[in-house]
Structure 1
Amino acid sequence: MQLPQNAFKRAILEGRQQIGLWCSLPGSYAAEALAGAGYDWMLLDTEHSPGDPLTILAQLQAVAPYPVTPIVRPASNDAVLIKRLLDFGAQTLLIPYVQNAAEARAAVSAMRYPPEGIRGVSGVTRATAFGRVANYGKRAHEELCLLVQIETQEALDNLEEIAAVEGVDGVFIGPADLAASLGCIGEPANPKVVSAIEDGIRRIRACGKPAGILTPDTAFAKRCMEWGTTFTSVGVDATILARSAEALLKQFRG
């Protein structure tokens, strides 16, 4: 059995826009319902959701038959969490709260087997098709994709050093935490925040790395794409569910 190809990694490295959807609902049933919607990628979250590694496993299994790339966000830049998610079969990870090049290098190390990294070795995992993928240990890094999330002023200050770390495949701007870091919590449309995001995207692109972002604001998502984002998440499942339910009720109650 051959190592599965990472279509998302190839697409962003070739500069092809990838439209994504954020999935904060931890159930596999909801993930499967969304997997067939036609998005290029879906983010399975465990940082700001009730999800954990075991719920991620069920979600990965549920979305596997669909032509969408699952990206997993661990709760933190933790080598043990990263190891487990990779063993479960996740090929693309978004690591939150990366502040500097040292933290980016730590994420790269957690993604790779020795001698290049510290990922623990197990020959019978879902990632290896339970031992059926030929030369998985030697080739896994070819199809793994590491995205790092910058979401503070400190991270912006270190952006070029973070992007330059070998093994970082893309840089994602987290607008909510960035707004808080800039003293504008809950104000993602504040001109100060918007300016920082625009500058950040342009700097990421100048480093030769794909840039990404999450925003449910359709107009702003399009602006970010014009500025240069290559992987752009345009909605959150829980938000879509809550707001759509409210809008439906409003038609009947005024």
Structure 2
Amino acid sequence: MGQDRTPAGGLRVTTDRRPLREVLADPTTRLTATFLLIPRLEMVELLADAGFDAVLVDLEHGPISVDDLPGMVAAGHGAGAYVLARLGERTPATIGRVLDCGVDGVVLPHVESAADAHDAVDAARFPPDGSRSLNPYVRAAGYDGTESFLTTANAGVAVLVMVEGKDGLAALDDIAAVAGVDAVFVGPVDLSTSLGLPGQPEHPLVLEKVQDLMDRLARTGIGTGIYCPTPHAAARWQRAGARLAALSADIAMAGAGFRRTVEELHDLNTEGRSR
């Protein structure tokens, strides 16, 4: 499921941007995203214009801070893309600050138990569904939040919990059963390390574990997200039912594009000299 976009000033904008939580609840959803490590709104706009449905701003590994988020969220929404933030920690204060910036969802790392998942949901939802602190003068509330903001935020903001280790796999059924978890996001890179195969997310054993995980989640009806290093991997997991495929990362794709351009120039010069 991609978004319906129309040209507008060189960028494509959505004509139907449903809340991400609602979108992820639909089993027919197939969103294509990528991780963002370059803290530039121009990169967000380029990715949206290229056709990515969502960007995952990486606050865990990228040189990005919460201060960078408002501009990126504005750029993404203006170009018709969803903007999520992958956090480096799951503290209530950090989750609340990120959500106050207006992101459509949070991706929370290293969830290894139902208790971890419950704490994450609690921090991301306003009462009575959780304990998120309210400030009506933040971007997410339109700088002048009313009571309706509490309801719309709870109904719209998605909570994705990352399962990326042996403990998380063992507790998967309990994690998926936690009310308010909208999707389980699989981290095959860290999972490969946990399985003694560091840096090998496409190893047959890792693929076997991921497929088993997705099969188990499918039986629960909960959404699945997953990091995919290549288009081939993304297509595989989308066919398997992943509702959010995070394909590669901005910096990886940019580097590959730069290398292809220089290699093409080198090849053309070589052909010219041989004539």
TM normalised by structure 1 equals 0.93
1:195 equivalent to 2:211? Answer: no
Residue of 150, 157, 165 corresponding to 2:163:
150
Q: Paired residue for 1:209?
A: 222
Question: How far off its partner does 1:24 sit?
Answer: 1.4
1:15-45 deviations in whole A, cap 9, x for unaligned?
A: 2211112211112222222222222211111
Write the mapping of 1:94-173 to structure 2, written as runs, cut at 5 A.
94-132=107-145, 135-173=148-186
Alignment CA distance shift 1:5-1:132 (3 Å)? farther
Q: Paired residue for 1:73?
A: 86
Q: Paired residue for 1:14?
A: 26
Unpaired runs of 5+ residues, structure 2, are 1-15, 268-275
Q: Return the alpha-carbon distance in structure 2 between the equivalents of residues 215 and 250 of structure 1.
A: 25
Runs in 1 of length 4+ with deviation above 6 angstroms?
none
Which of the two has higher C-alpha Rg? 2
Contact preservation (8 Å) 1:8, 1:40: no
Question: How far off its partner does 1:115 sit?
Answer: 4.2
Question: How far off its partner does 1:5 sit?
Answer: 6.7
Write the mapping of 1:55-94 to structure 2, written as runs, cut at 5 A.
55-94=68-107
Worse overlay, 113-122 or 143-152: 113-122
Q: CA RMSD in A?
A: 1.7
Per the alignment, in what secondary structure is the counterpart of residue 136 of structure 1? helix
Per the alignment, in what secondary structure is the counterpart of residue 31 of structure 1? helix
1:40-80 deviations in whole A, cap 9, x for unaligned?
A: 21111111101110111221122221211111111111211
Question: How far off its partner does 1:243 sit?
Answer: 1.3
1:151 maps to amino acid: E
1:223 equivalent to 2:236? Answer: yes
Contact preservation (8 Å) 2:136, 2:143: yes
2:251 maps to amino acid: A
2:258 maps to amino acid: A
Worse overlay, 31-40 or 97-106: 31-40
Alignment CA distance shift 1:23-1:36 (3 Å)? same
Unpaired runs of 5+ residues, structure 1, are none
Q: Return the alpha-carbon distance in structure 1 between the equivalents of residues 23 and 132 of structure 2.
A: 26
1:124 maps to amino acid: Y
1:75-102 deviations in whole A, cap 9, x for unaligned?
A: 1112111100111111311111111100
**What is the aligned-residue identity percentage?**
28
Write the mapping of 1:29-44 to structure 2, written as runs, cut at 5 A.
29-44=42-57
2:134 maps to amino acid: V
Worse overlay, 113-122 or 208-217: 113-122
Question: How far off its partner does 1:176 sit?
Answer: 0.5
Contact preservation (8 Å) 1:11, 1:17: no
Q: Return the alpha-carbon distance in structure 2 between the equivalents of residues 201 and 127 of structure 1.
A: 32
Alignment CA distance shift 1:121-1:5 (3 Å)? farther
Question: How far off its partner does 1:6 sit?
Answer: 4.3
Alignment CA distance shift 1:10-1:228 (3 Å)? same
TM normalised by structure 2 equals 0.86
Contact preservation (8 Å) 1:8, 1:41: no
Per the alignment, in what secondary structure is the counterpart of residue 229 of structure 1? coil
Contact preservation (8 Å) 2:108, 2:162: yes
